[in-house]
Amino acid sequence: MTQFKNFSFGVDHITMINSAYNVFRFNDPQKCEVNLSYETTVHRGGDSNEVRAIAIHSRTAEVALGTGSVDAELAQLLTGGTITSLGTSAASITTGSASGVNSLFGGTDTIASGISTVTINSPTLIKTSDYYLKATATDGLTVTRVNDGKVFTAVTLTNSAAGLTLDSERGIVFSTTASATSLTVNEKAYISARTAISIINQKIAFDTNQPCELTVRATVDYCGYERQINIPVSKPTGSVQMMSPTEFQVQDLTFPIAYDTILDELCDMTLQG
């Protein structure tokens, strides 16, 4: 009699197939668990009210997946949304009026009028960040870097000056116009800087686009034997976006499995060598 290899160790591959038959791979599979369970009802009787009969009904199935990869396509598969490519570019000031400054709070736009240009002097130091500018006097500005909340030393403005420091750590300077000493106190504006983009960069907006049904396949290849779990129809219900100061991000995802009426099954498992 042939002895089957029943040991299973780890998970080697997890792939997903969407409704358009595109195949997506988990680059860092951590786990794949398929949980199948029934609701039960019991009949009791006798002197001790013991269980005399058990009936099962309303089967439930779900798959739990784990991965340590952070990927826009994976997030879209699980949560829905829209992916936008940021393309490629040099380091730049990305938004605002012609000077790169946008009004944030206040009605007179004197900060935007008082700054003529914003210049990146060191593309190697620049990092993507927003800067909030606040007029503390008619000729004074405070600058706060939004990404880390750092507040820089207040800048005293002079009319039609060049090379005033916005962020000394990242090589950003600005020049002023003739109206730089006529700011409205407490008015606020912002500037957005971006690093050079030379490789693929993507943004995913979690909007009203919902995730589609997915086929999931998980494969274990251990000691010359392959074990594969195939889930024809599952419905993702979202992903976990998280950050930790000292740990790798590992997403644990659980979503329901639907009954496939064509194949007449919830899922199947194959053991082959």
129-165 residue pLDDT tens: 999 999 999 999 999 999 999 999 899 999 999 999 9
Judge whether residue 112 has pLDDT over 70: yes
Residue 4 has a pLDDT of 56
170-216 tens-digit pLDDT: 999 999 999 999 999 999 999 999 888 877 678 889 899 998 999 99
Residues of CATH 2.30.110 domain(s) within the chain?
13-83+206-272
Total-model pTM: 0.71
Q: Tell me what pLDDT residue 63 has.
A: 93
Residue 186 to residues 107, 167, 190, Cα–Cα distance (Å): 11, 20, 13
CATH number for the domain whose boundaries are 13-83+206-272: 2.30.110
The pLDDT value recorded for residue 2 is 57
The beta-strand segments (E) located in 68-201 are 82-85, 92-93, 102-105, 115-120, 129-137, 140-145, 150-151, 155-156, 164-167, 172-176, 188-194
User: Residue 87: what pLDDT?
Assistant: 77
Quickly state the pLDDT bin for 45 (edges 50, 70, 90): very high
pLDDT computed for residue 5 by the predictor: 57
* CA–CA gap between residue 238 and residue 257 (Å, rounded): 14
